[in-house]
Amino acid sequence: MIDYYYLVLIVPALLITLWAQMKVKSTFAQYDRVPNRQGFTAAMVARQILDSNGLQHIRIERVSGQLTDHYSPKEDVIRLSDSTYNSVSVGAIGVAAHEVGHAIQYDTGYFPIKLRSAIIPLSQIGSAAAIPLAILGLIMGFPLLVEVGIILFCAVVLFQLFTLPVELNASRRALRTLEEDRILEGEELTGARKVLTAAAMTYVAALIMAIANLLRLILLAQNRGRRR
């Protein structure tokens, strides 16, 4: 039964995840070859948007890797990857503006990001321990251990659920700013939108994977309960 649930639930979710990852990489690669007409680098755009929102205290740093861009609220720093920092492509500018969107979310007290931040510690525990605990409980016949694992994994699902609106909102903020400030126009803006839309699919895929894993644990527990 373990293999059956894995094939029915996890394999399709895994295929969706792989497709989303390939999609974001191919879309970024496509628009990473399209420079913006004004010659702005992604780091320049990030700095401009931060300053215009009164966030001069937030630093911008370079970090190694491709698409490893992120915002660290504890350190007040936006880290742009090698593939983004000095790039003048519309794809890189979209990514940089997206990360600035997260900084603005924290500054304005955007509620979903508060929810996500609050559940991070529990979701980290759940991500590391939930499935091993549940499987161990199933093997050893300890229903309580299975229930603890399922409850912990619910935190992982909630984290992914809260992450989705946070990421979508950051992209909307980015695109709106790029358009209103006339940083990108026309096809340039369309390219940035396609990159951020593809990136959003990775978060949708992560949520699907989390739900699939949770359902698998629940069905395994129910199946074991019927057999006892």
Q: Which helix (H) or strand (E) holds 102?
A: helix 90-108
35: helix, strand or coil: strand
Which residue, 180, 28, 38, is CA-closest to 94? 28
Establish whether 61 is a catalytic residue.
no
Question: Would you say 202 and 25 are in contact if contact means Cβ atoms under 8 Å apart?
Answer: no
Does residue 47 come out as left (phi exceeding 0), alpha (psi in the -120 to 50 range) or beta?
alpha
**Phi, psi (rounded to 5 degrees) for 79:** -105, 120
Of how many residues is the chain composed? 228
From 75, 99, 185, 188, the catalytic residue: 99
Q: Which helix (H) or strand (E) holds 109?
A: none
- CB within 8 A of 43, min separation 6: which ones? 60, 62, 80, 84, 85, 86, 96
Cα 210 to Cα 188: distance, rounded to the nearest angstrom: 34
Active site residues: 99
